[in-house]
Amino acid sequence: MAWSRAKFKGQRVWAEVDADGAPLAVAGRIAVRYSDKAGATIYQAGAGRVEPEGSAPVDLPAGAAAPDAPLPAPGAVGNAAPAARPSGRGSGFGSAGTRTAAQAGAAKTAATAQVAAAAGAIRCFTDGGCTGNPGPAGSGCLVKFPDGRVVERHRGLGFSTNNVAELTAIAMALDELDTAGEPPESVAVVFSDSQYCRGVLTQGWKAKANVELIAGLRVRLKARPGVTLQWVAGHVGLPENERADELARRGVEESRRRGV
């Protein structure tokens, strides 16, 4: 992922940016790091408090995601050990099925704003699931092109895990970009409700499983500098996300019919 110089609380930081160099906000927060060295701790800062300097985006070595950790006090910058990986609660939106009305409203507002901000780009919505984990699994993706074309795909994965299904859905979206002949610089946003996918693909989380699948996706994303991956809260009534979920469940049903 690309990074650019910015200021946060009076200190210079590196902020995560999109292909155009704009700060990449997810659920009102921007990933920031104080060091450009490998293993630097990556924090989540309030988007309104990050001031871009407008410098050219650069690629930096992978850091250690610490999205739930408090930001260090001024002068206390260092490569602290990574905190626990985020759950749905880490976003402030709660988890699907247990959200309060206020959390659900905030999650939908944030997701809708993220999708609207990607107007003019190719927008890809992905989801994966399984019955049991592991169990019969499926993936789905919906790709909306700026010219109005909409492509929907689903795939039964047989007996697999939820994480594999989520990763495969992202791969399917990239497949559609390839099939459409989109050049590497084409601007596209892939929306996923999987914190795991965002972590292992863009936040430097170490892959302990699904290593080959993750490595392949990292290579494909690097080869497409115009593509960014954004996390959105799942099951908040965002039509495209709900459709991706339906497509994934169709894949699960295919797997079940095959008797896996």
* 245 catalytic residue (yes or no): yes
* 127 catalytic residue (yes or no): yes
Domains in the chain: ranges and CATH: 2-84 (no CATH), 91-257 (3.30.420.10)
Q: Residue 1 has what pLDDT?
A: 60
The residue annotated as part of the active site, out of 16, 18, 166, 176, is: 166
* 212 catalytic residue (yes or no): no
* 128 catalytic residue (yes or no): yes
The residue annotated as part of the active site, out of 235, 242, 246, 253, is: 235
pLDDT tens, N- to C-terminus, the chain (260 residues): 678 899 988 889 998 887 667 787 765 678 888 988 877 788 888 878 888 888 888 888 776 665 443 344 434 443 333 333 333 334 567 666 677 888 778 878 888 888 888 889 999 999 999 998 899 999 999 999 999 999 999 999 999 999 999 999 999 999 999 999 999 999 999 999 998 999 899 888 888 899 999 999 999 999 999 999 999 888 888 999 999 999 999 999 999 998 76
* 235 catalytic residue (yes or no): yes
The residue annotated as part of the active site, out of 128, 129, 156, 234, is: 128
* 193 catalytic residue (yes or no): yes
The residue annotated as part of the active site, out of 16, 182, 240, 245, is: 245
The residue annotated as part of the active site, out of 193, 234, 251, 254, is: 193
- Write the secondary structure of the chain as one string of H (helix), E (strand) and C (coil): CEEEEEEECCEEEEEEECCCCCECEECCEEEEECCCCCCCEEEEEEHHHEEECCCCCEECCCCEECCCCCCCCCCCCCCCCCCCCCCHHHHCCCCCCCCCHHHHHHHHHHHHHHHHHCCCCEEEEEEEEECCCCEEEEEEEEEECCCCCEEEEEEEEEEECHHHHHHHHHHHHHHHHHHCCCCCCCCEEEEECCHHHHHHHHCCCCCCCCHHHHHHHHHHHHCCCCEEEEECCCCCCCHHHHHHHHHHHHHHHHHHHCCC
The residue annotated as part of the active site, out of 16, 127, 182, 254, is: 127
